[in-house]
């Protein structure tokens, strides 16, 4: 028997404060033939983690303990007899998908079937002077996977002749997206909308033009770029990562027509969600704009994108990190015991990169 403590940050419903709880597991018997056991070294927080917690209303959440987080990096410590391609000692990075599940990456161990939780790969070396490979690797699976789906998931052929508008240039998903677009797809023009103070940060990532949302006439400035600078060359993709509706009245001035394969893709809906103080209404709020997106009324190609686990995205992320074409962004790193401060930082919605929690 190899009994170890498996600590995890858990909660029961949105009225119970998250706490560290511990459960003993026997590392020799806790896994099946087709499962592996990963000793987690670092986990990253994402807005979805706090969102799920806030949505765990007592009338449906039940009384079981639920866990946080999806992104992890760690080392395989046990491998079932039927598992192929992974060995004890492999360092891995992945996205552990669950909704209010009993296992989440903010814990010491994850036990799972790698063909079902298939968004994992061997950890690429980052060779960063500031952060360990575990910390940097925990910081990318979810945001890179989301950016991957935006760029490749809708049949678009984005490349050297393309133009992309990113609403929310500073978000972690956009951070991954601009690096893939510029360093891998060689997209000609990526325009970003961010706060004035984030211009320098975002310029260094590869954005060709930046427009401030905290100054006047943001939409007009983008329309002006299209007309004058790009000589009426409209965008192939408008990507919204914050929940914005400002561009809908001028959509045909910025986005190419829908039969040219253009898309308006959002991962945050039409309204910015307040994570610190969430209501169901703030998520489900309908709008007139919806009528222009579906059925015979459809005026432009639109999708509300939801991430799904994708081994291809993981493989590309690891490849680009190894080739130094993609660097995950870190906002801050916390010790496991300081998880509450880590969530506070996440909910500020002013982070630049991922909030990572070290587990060891």
Question: Is residue 86 classed exposed, middle or buried when 0-12, 13-18 and 19+ CB atoms within 10 A define those classes?
Answer: middle
3-state secondary structure of 71: strand
* Binding piece for ligand NAP, criterion CB under 6 A, among 40-48, 63-71, 277-285, 316-324: 40-48
The verdict on 69 binding ligand NAP (CB under 6 A) reads no
Nearer to ligand NAP, 272 or 293 (CB): 272
Contact residue for ligand NAP among 267, 313, 316, 333 (CB under 6 A): 267
- Examine residue 350 and tell whether it contacts ligand NAP (CB under 6 A): yes
Residue 166 is encoded by which pair of tokens? 């990113």
Report how far residue 49's alpha carbon sits from residue 31's, in angstroms, rounded to the nearest whole number.
26
- Contact status: 46 vs ligand NAP (CB under 6 A): yes
* DSSP assignment string, 83-140: --S--TT-EEEEE---SS-S--SSBSEEEE-TTTS--EEEPPP---SSS-HHHHHHTS
- 178: Cβ contacts below 8 Å, ≥ 6 apart: 166, 169, 190, 192, 202, 205, 206, 207
- Position among 47, 104, 141, 328 found at the interface with ligand NAP (CB under 6 A): 47
For residues 137 and 127, the answer to whether their CB atoms sit within 8 Å is no
Tokens (6 digits) for 72: 């992890």
CA angle 162, 164, 167 (to 5 degrees): 180
Q: Which of 7, 65, 271, 272 binds ligand NAP (CB under 6 A)?
A: 272
136-165 footprint of ligand NAP as x/- string (CB under 6 A): -------x--x-------------------
One of 40, 225, 307, 356 touching ligand NAP (CB under 6 A): 307
Per CB under 6 A, 124 contacts ligand NAP: no
Among 172, 179, 189, 262, binds ligand NAP (CB under 6 A): 172
Q: Which residues bind ligand NAP (CB under 6 A)?
A: 46-48, 143, 146, 168, 170-173, 193-195, 197-198, 213, 241-242, 267-268, 272-273, 305-307, 349-352
């Amino acid at each position: 028997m190899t009994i170890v403590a498996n600590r995890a940050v858990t909660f029961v419903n949105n009225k119970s404060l998250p706490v560290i709880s511990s459960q003993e597991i026997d590392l020799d018997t806790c896994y099946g033939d087709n499962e592996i056991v990963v000793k987690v070294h670092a986990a990253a927080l994402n807005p979805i983690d706090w969102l799920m917690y806030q949505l765990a209303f007592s009338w449906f959440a039940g009384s079981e303990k639920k866990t946080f987080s999806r992104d992890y990096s760690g080392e395989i410590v046990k491998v079932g007899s039927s598992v192929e391609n992974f060995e004890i000692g492999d360092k891995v990075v992945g996205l552990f998908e669950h909704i209010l599940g009993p296992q989440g990456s903010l814990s010491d161990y994850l036990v799972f079937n790698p063909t079902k939780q298939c968004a994992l790969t061997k950890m690429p070396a980052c060779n960063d002077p500031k952060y360990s490979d575990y910390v940097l690797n925990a910081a990318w699976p979810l945001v890179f996977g989301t950016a991957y789906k935006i760029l490749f998931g809708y049949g678009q052929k984005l490349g050297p002749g393309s133009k992309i508008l990113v609403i929310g240039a500073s978000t972690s998903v956009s951070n991954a997206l601009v690096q893939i677009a510029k360093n891998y797809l060689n997209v000609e023009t990526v325009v970003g909308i961010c706060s004035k103070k984030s211009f320098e940060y975002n310029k260094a990532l590869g954005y060709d033009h930046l427009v401030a949302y905290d100054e006047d006439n943001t939409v007009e400035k983008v329309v002006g770029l299209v007309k004058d600078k790009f000589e009426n060359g409209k965008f192939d993709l408008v990507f919204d990562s914050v929940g914005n509706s400002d561009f809908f009245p001028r959509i045909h001035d910025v986005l190419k027509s829908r039969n040219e394969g253009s898309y308006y893709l959002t991962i945050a809906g039409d309204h910015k969600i307040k994570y610190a103080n969430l209501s169901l209404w703030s998520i489900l709020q309908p709008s007139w704009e919806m009528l222009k997106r579906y059925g015979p009324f459809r005026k432009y190609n639109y999708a509300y994108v939801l991430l799904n686990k994708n081994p291809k995205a993981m493989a590309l992320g690891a490849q680009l990190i190894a080739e130094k074409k993609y660097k995950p962004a870190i906002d801050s790193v916390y010790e496991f015991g300081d998880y509450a401060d880590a969530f506070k930082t996440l909910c500020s919605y002013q982070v630049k990169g991922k909030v990572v929690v070290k587990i060891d």
